[in-house]
Every structure is written in structure tokens, then in C-alpha cells.
């Protein structure tokens, strides 16, 4: 089963509103095994809407339209549909009574303009709107030679109204036409290796003709695996999806930190919670002393609800003065090794741990750029130390990119070092 999604609205083509409806509808269609051939967006222009509809009806089984069915003169989707179907618009008495009842309920006079919302092309069906006044339309397009048939659903543009109508009155028809087929998806997230290195480890799993398919995307240094499983039944799609997730996990091991909506800081906080058996730890789990990341690690950790049990304290010791005064880092150490050095990062981590009386201390010092680099410590050099019971891990990284990227990757790498330590393992890169 194949669908095309058509969004109507000047605000969409002008870029003033992001078309979230199409993305949402696509995901819902995929869940019932329906392929989406295209997303189209046109302004509130009857000719443009007609053109888009005429181009689509021969290419799909379902044309899913949203927007342009309000009461104002620039809402022209119903007129365009009537023209494409070659049918006149007729007043639907039942919906007119619904509209009148709605306005009586909200104690507002009904404008004559609202009557147009009860008009639908002859031979089509009105679809009730439980959240607003714009009813939807269910129509079937058939070409003169009967070779082309396409079911057209028109829904309101307002996302909340559209979603309610789609779930109740549109999706069941697509699901029935698909005979129970399903596309199920899962996303696995990794941090630390580049996209190429990750795909090399996945090898054959990434073959283009494989089902379930495995593809990679990168965002903010996080390399994610998108797994899509399309089969004739939901049960089969789920079973095969689980098998492929298992195979990806076997290939990448602990490089995978989370699934779907899980974030790296969330996983770290969850690992602390798990290590503490779900109760408050006797001492806070981690404190941070940050220089080039300027509080980013503290921000990431405290974004997670429930972080207060685990995150103790954070110092932003950006200047040498702050490092010596607030963290008691010896001036001699700064002079001997330089501010961006492994001994200084280690001392920051250790002092953070001691001063906060926490289980772990993280220390980060580096050069985010664009200035300040030297041949020995170029821009992107970041030393990260993790001090904890029994051991201090210190590493120097060279992160590519601009200031924002260097800071972001350094913070994520610090959390990754913490995650591996909680797993009782060495960093694998």
C-alpha cells in the first residue's frame, strides 16, 4: 500500500510553520506497513492544490491531505477536491446541525462563512471532527477510464485535530488495505566512533537489500543506527526487528549506549540509579570541574529528572585564578605542565571529588578555539580525567570542528568515560 501526504498552507510554503503533520502521518503510516511515496506542500492556492492532487492520485492508493478546510476565503482545499473529482460541493445537513450546536454550546454566533465547512463534494463522506469545527472529507477518485482509483482523505491542518481524526477515521482504512503488513523501527545510539568505523563493524548488516534494513545517521557526534523492519504481519516484523537489534548489539557491544529517545546523560544517571539499587546513594555519585566546557556537563546531567541524587556539584573554573583559588590546583602544576594537560585535568577531577565528597570527580580542560591553539596543543585538544575509587583515567582527545562542536563532544566524551567506568570497562577507542 502506498500513500502520498499533501500539506496545504501559505504558512508552510513560506517557512513560517514547520510541517510537523507530514512527519507524524508518515510515522503512523509506516507502523501499518504503508510506504510513503512523497510529501508535497503547496500554498493556499486552488490551482496549486488541484495540480498536486491530480499528480498524486495516479501514484498512490491513499492521498492524505491536511489543511485548508477552515471557514475563511483562503481555505480552498474542499473546492480543489471538488474540481478534481468533477463533482459539485453540496451542503451536508447533518454536519450543519453539528456546527450550529457547536456554536450554541460555546455561546458564539455562527457566521454565515462557517456554512462552507459543512460543504463536501457530492458522493463523498463527511468525517466528524471531535476537536473542532472543520470536518474532514473521505472521497474516492476514479479516472474516466476506471484505471486509476485513489482514496482521498482531507483533514484539518491543526495538528491536534488532524491526529485525532487520522487515528480514528483514516488509519484503520490504510491498515485494512495493507492486510496487516507493518513497518516497525528502532534506533540505537553510539558515541565515540565515527560513522564509517561504526558501519565497518556492522559489515553485512548494512547491506542495502537487507530486511530489516540498518542505516546510520549522525547528529551532534552521536552515530545512530536506524533499523526498519517491514513484513506481512506485525508479529513477524517485531520478531525480525528484535533479531536485527540483537545482531547490531552483538557487533557493537557497549558502544551502543541507548535506544530511541534515550540520551547519554539519561543513561549515565540511570546507571548510577541502578548501581545504587534505586535508592539514594550514601554519598553523591559525581562532581565536575569544568574549564572549556563551561558547565555543559553539569547542564547535561541536571537536565535529567532525578539527577539530584547523583549529581553533587559543579565548578566552572575557566581562568587559572579560579583553578588555583576554587580548586586549590597548585600554581606550580599549571606552570610545569600547562593549563591544558593531563596532570591538570587529573588534579581538577581529584579536587572536585574531594571537595564535593562524591564517588567520582570529572575534570575537563581544553582549547575550544577559535584562538588559543599552539603547535603543541592545537584547537580541539581536550584533556578529560575521571577520578574515582581505585583509579584515575586521564585521556587527551583532539576533537574536530568549531568551538560549539569541541565543547559538545568534550562533554559527551566525559560522560562516555563515566559510562564505561560504571560498566567496569576500558574505553574502546
Give whichever of 9 and 361 is closer to ligand ATP, judged by the CB atom. 9
The angle at the Cα of 344, spanning 343 to 347, to the nearest 5 degrees, equals 85
Dist CA 77 CA 10 (whole Å): 12
Q: Calculate Rg over the CA atoms of the chain.
A: 29
Least spacing, CB of residue 139 vs ligand ATP, in Å = 16
Is 6 in a helix, a strand, or coil?
strand
Q: Does 134 contact ligand ATP by CB under 6 A?
A: yes
Give whichever of 65 and 347 is closer to ligand ATP, judged by the CB atom. 65
At residue 388, what are phi and psi to the nearest 5 degrees?
-155, -175
Least spacing, CB of residue 24 vs ligand ATP, in Å = 8
User: Which residues in the 139-198 window bind ligand ATP by CB under 6 A?
Assistant: 156-159
Give whichever of 6 and 206 is closer to ligand ATP, judged by the CB atom. 6
Least spacing, CB of residue 133 vs ligand ATP, in Å = 7
Least spacing, CB of residue 123 vs ligand ATP, in Å = 22
Cα–Cα nearest to 387, from 351, 429, 338, 412: 351
Least spacing, CB of residue 12 vs ligand ATP, in Å = 6
For residue 216, CA distances in Å to 31, 225, 226, 255, 316 come to: 20, 5, 6, 14, 35
For residue 95, CA distances in Å to 78, 127, 134 come to: 15, 9, 10
Q: Is the dihedral of CA 296, 301, 303, 307 positive or negative?
A: negative
Cα–Cα nearest to 378, from 368, 388, 387, 386: 368
Give whichever of 5 and 411 is closer to ligand ATP, judged by the CB atom. 5
Least spacing, CB of residue 163 vs ligand ATP, in Å = 11
At residue 354, what are phi and psi to the nearest 5 degrees?
-65, -50
Dist CA 316 CA 325 (whole Å): 12
Give whichever of 117 and 365 is closer to ligand ATP, judged by the CB atom. 117
User: Which residues in the 191-230 window bind ligand ATP by CB under 6 A?
Assistant: none
Beta strands in 131-221 (DSSP E): 136-142, 149-155, 182-191, 213-219
Residues composing the chain? 429
At residue 222, what are phi and psi to the nearest 5 degrees?
-85, 120
Give whichever of 68 and 192 is closer to ligand ATP, judged by the CB atom. 68
Give whichever of 120 and 184 is closer to ligand ATP, judged by the CB atom. 120
User: Which residues in the 61-100 window bind ligand ATP by CB under 6 A?
Assistant: 66-70, 75
Q: How many residues bind ligand ATP (CB under 6 A)?
A: 20
Q: Which cell is 363 given?
A: 575534570
Least spacing, CB of residue 164 vs ligand ATP, in Å = 13
Cα–Cα nearest to 188, from 275, 246, 266, 235: 246
Dist CA 18 CA 16 (whole Å): 7
Least spacing, CB of residue 66 vs ligand ATP, in Å = 5
Least spacing, CB of residue 34 vs ligand ATP, in Å = 18
User: Which residues in the 4-23 window bind ligand ATP by CB under 6 A?
Assistant: 7, 9, 11-12, 17, 19-22
Give whichever of 67 and 284 is closer to ligand ATP, judged by the CB atom. 67
Give whichever of 11 and 242 is closer to ligand ATP, judged by the CB atom. 11
Give whichever of 33 and 156 is closer to ligand ATP, judged by the CB atom. 156
Q: Which cell is 250 given?
A: 552483538
- Chain residue whose CB lies nearest ligand ATP: 70
Least spacing, CB of residue 132 vs ligand ATP, in Å = 7
Dist CA 121 CA 45 (whole Å): 18
Q: Does 49 contact ligand ATP by CB under 6 A?
A: no
Is residue 299 within a helix (H) or strand (E), and if so which, with residue range?
A: helix 296-302
Binding site for ligand ATP (CB under 6 A): 7, 9, 11-12, 17, 19-22, 66-70, 75, 134, 156-159
Amino acid at each position: 500500500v502506498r500513500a502520498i501526504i499533501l500539506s496545504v498552507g501559505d504558512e508552510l510554503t513560506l517557512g513560517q510553520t514547520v510541517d510537523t503533520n507530514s512527519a507524524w502521518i508518515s510515522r503512523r503510516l509506516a507502523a501499518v506497513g504503508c510506504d510513503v511515496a512523497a510529501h508535497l506542500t503547496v500554498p493556499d492556492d486552488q490551482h496549486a492544490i488541484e495540480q498536486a492532487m491530480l499528480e498524486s492520485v495516479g501514484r498512490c492508493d491513499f492521498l492524505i491531505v491536511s489543511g485548508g478546510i477552515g471557514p475563511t476565503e483562503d481555505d480552498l482545499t474542499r473546492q480543489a477536491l471538488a474540481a478534481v473529482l468533477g463533482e459539485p460541493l453540496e451542503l451536508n445537513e447533518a454536519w450543519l446541525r453539528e456546527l450550529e450546536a457547536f456554536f450554541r454550546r460555546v455561546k458564539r454566533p455562527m457566521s454565515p462563512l462557517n456554512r462552507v465547512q459543512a460543504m463536501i463534494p457530492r458522493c463523498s463522506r463527511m468525517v466528524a471532527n471531535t476537536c473542532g469545527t472543520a470536518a474532514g472529507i473521505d472521497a474516492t477518485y476514479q479516472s474516466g477510464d476506471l484505471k486509476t482509483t485513489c482514496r482521498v482523505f482531507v483533514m484539518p491542518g491543526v495538528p491536534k485535530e488532524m491526529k485525532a481524526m487520522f487515528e480514528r477515521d483514516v488509519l484503520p482504512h490504510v491498515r485494512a488495505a495493507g492486510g496487516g503488513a507493518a513497518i516497525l523501527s528502532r534506533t540505537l545510539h553510539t558515541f565515540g566512533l565515527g560513522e564509517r568505523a561504526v558501519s565497518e563493524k556492522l559489515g553485512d548488516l548494512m547491506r542495502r537489500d537487507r530486511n530489516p534494513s540498518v542505516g546510520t545517521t549522525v547528529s551532534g557526534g552521536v552515530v545512530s543506527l536506524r533499523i526498519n523492519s517491514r513484513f506481512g504481519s506485525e508479529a513477524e516484523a517485531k520478531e525480525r526487528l528484535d533479531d536485527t537489534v540483537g545482531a547490531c548489539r552483538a557487533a557493537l557491544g557497549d558502544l551502543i549506549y541507548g535506544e530511541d529517545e534515550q540520551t547519554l546523560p539519561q543513561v549515565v544517571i540511570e546507571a548510577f540509579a541502578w548501581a545504587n539499587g534505586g535508592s539514594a546513594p550514601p554519598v553523591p555519585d559525581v562532581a565536575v570541574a569544568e574549564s572549556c566546557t563551561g558547565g555543559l556537563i553539569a547542564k547535561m546531567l541536571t537536565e535529567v529528572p532525578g539527577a539530584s541524587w547523583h549529581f553533587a556539584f559543579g565548578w566552572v573554573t575557566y581562568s587559572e585564578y579560579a583553578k588555583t583559588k576554587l580548586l586549590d590546583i597548585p600554581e606550580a602544576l599549571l606552570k610545569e605542565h600547562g593549563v591544558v594537560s593531563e596532570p591538570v585535568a587529573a588534579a581538577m577531577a581529584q579536587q572536585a571529588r574531594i571537595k564535593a565528597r562524591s564517588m567520582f570527580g570529572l575534570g575537563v580542560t581544553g582549547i575550544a578555539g577559535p584562538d588559543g591553539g599552539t603547535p603543541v596543543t592545537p584547537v580541539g585538544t581536550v584533556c578529560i580525567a575521571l577520578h574515582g575509587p581505585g583509579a584515575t583515567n586521564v585521556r587527551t582527545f583532539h576533537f574536530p570542528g568549531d568551538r560549539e562542536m569541541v565543547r559538545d563532544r568534550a562533554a559527551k566524551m566525559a560522560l562516555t568515560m563515566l559510562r564505561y567506568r560504571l560498566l567496569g570497562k576500558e574505553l574502546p577507542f
